[in-house]
Structure 1
Amino acid sequence: MHIYKAMKDCERKVQKSLESPTVKLLREHMEKAGCPVKDTFFKVIYCRNKYGGSYAPGGGGISVCGNFRQRQDSVTRNCAHHACSEIRANRLSGDCHFKRELLRGILKIRGHEPECIKKRVLKSLSSNPFCAASTTSKDSMEAVWNICYNDTAPFDKAP
């Protein structure tokens, strides 16, 4: 894909993600908490190294590498942050809920949700070249499991 086209495509994907109801809700709650996140916080940039993007504290914002973006949801992150993001995403999406698992033919009554989430987190971490080693993946997930699994903000409880 031509670099200009790839960068424009990435900009469209960033804008599309900002329209997501989940992202809108999170931004709304961050603003109420005194931490507004403006659209300009997200920048599409050209990267020399093959990364998905980065975060620069102190107002630097989130940079997304437009020349390496191919899927709407692909991101390269620190292993513990990556694990936490996956734990929260899988917990809050409800995709590992008992009813959905039942429809997939998983008949386990107790402990199905954490097992489902752990399986998905490890699968995601294994696709990240920085976290791919099985011990790195598992250690990263276990290090953040309790705090990230129990963090349902901005919701009162997992939906």
Structure 2
Amino acid sequence: MDKQARNYAVKHDAVVEAARTERQEVLARNRTLLTLELEFERAARGVESHCHCNALVAMAGDGTDSLNQRETREMQRCEKLRAGALSDPTVKFMLEHLQKAGCVMPEEAIRCMRCDERVFGGYQGDGSIVMAANHIATQGIANATLVHEMVHAFDECRAYMDWNSCKQHACSEVRAAALSGDCNWGKEIQRGNFNFANQFPRCIRRRAELSVAMNPNCGPVLAKEAVADVFEVCYNDTMPFDRIP
């Protein structure tokens, strides 16, 4: 490498590092503002959150007593599953490597909320993670959901992610599906997918396409194209793991 190329490389690295530092400082400031009444609005990254959380207001005589009791049970169950997930070795591994990458995720940033959409959770633009209290019913789902969303957090930590980009979003979804256990054989059988040949990569493609299709900048057609374009590279990017768990 000649002197001019080396100078360019040094300047480029300095710019990237400065952008990453600024992003981490913004995330740190945002996390200090987290409260129990955290509202999950459209993420600053430009992609609508996967998890739309609602707040139901009880009105006299409207029959919400039983509904509120059910919500209370769901929240209690979710908090128990959340505590169990935070003790899971893979979740702890992700938390450790987020910290090593410079993006500490405090336990308070992982919250149970009711979600309108049929999703298990979502990574938010402020660096927090939502667990859908009304959809997560087992410890296995809770563990996989946290790992999945922490992969998104890791991707945002190590690079300035443009979530408006269908390809960048697709890459993170491919990685999250591959590394979280979303596509292990047991879960695929429960979904009614019994094809043995290449079932794991087929599942990853399918689930990544579904997630990217929720991005208002993409939709189903662009999602399918984006996943196809990035699949090989992103499927083989297993950071922070040495290999697919």
TM-score by length of 2: 0.44
Name the larger-Rg structure: 2
Give the partner amino acid of 2:176.
S
Does structure 1 conserve the Cα–Cα contact (< 8 Å) formed by 2:210 and 2:220? no
Using a 3 Å threshold, how does the CA distance of structure 1 residues 36 and 125 change in structure 2: closer, same or farther? closer
Aligned to 1:63: 130
Q: Does 1:143 align with 2:243?
A: no
Q: CA separation in 1, counterparts of 2:114 and 2:244? A: 37
Q: Equivalent pairs: percent with the same residue?
A: 24
Correspondences of 1:6-85 after superposition (within 5 Å): 6-47=74-115, 49-52=116-119, 53-59=121-127, 61-72=128-139, 73=141, 80=170, 81-85=172-176
CA distance in 2, matches of 1:19, 1:155: 18
Q: Secondary structure at the match of 1:88?
A: helix
1:97-133, Cα deviation, whole Å (9 max, x unpaired): xxxxxxxxx7xxxxx7xx34322224546887959x9
Change (3 A) 1:155 1:127: closer
Shift of 1:21: 0.7
Matches of 2:78 and 2:220 in 1, distance apart? 31
Q: Distance in 2 between matches of 1:46 and 1:71?
A: 16
The question of 1:88 aligning with 2:179 is answered yes
1:154 and 2:221 correspond:
no
Q: Do the aligned partners of residues 46 and 27 (structure 1) sit closer, same or farther apart at CA in structure 2, a change above 3 Å counting?
A: same
* Cα distance, 1:3 vs structure 2: 1.4
Number of residue equivalences = 140
Q: Deviations over 1:32-83 (max 9, x none)?
A: 2221111111011233x22433322234x11222123334427699983443
Q: SS of the residue aligned with 2:122?
A: strand
Alpha carbons of structure 1 residues 12 and 139: separation in structure 2 relative to 1, 3 Å = farther
Deviations 1:131-151 (A, max 9, x none): 9x9867743532331332121
User: Cα 1:139–1:84, aligned 2, differ >3 Å: closer, same or farther?
Assistant: farther
**Taking structure 1 as the reference length, what is the TM-score of the superposition?**
0.62
Task: Please give the secondary structure, in 2, of the residue aligned with 1:69.
Answer: coil
Residues 127 and 71 of structure 1: CA distance in aligned 2, closer, same or farther (over 3 Å): farther
**What residue ranges of structure 2 are gaps of 5+ in the alignment?**
1-66, 150-162, 164-168, 186-195
Structure 1 counterpart of 2:204, which letter? V
- The verdict on how the C-alpha distance between 1:87 and 1:140 changes in structure 2, with shifts beyond 3 A counting, is farther
> How large is the Cα RMSD of the aligned pairs?
4.0
Aligned-partner residue type, residue 237 of structure 2: D
Distance in 2 between residues matched to 1:126 and 1:24, nearest whole Å: 28
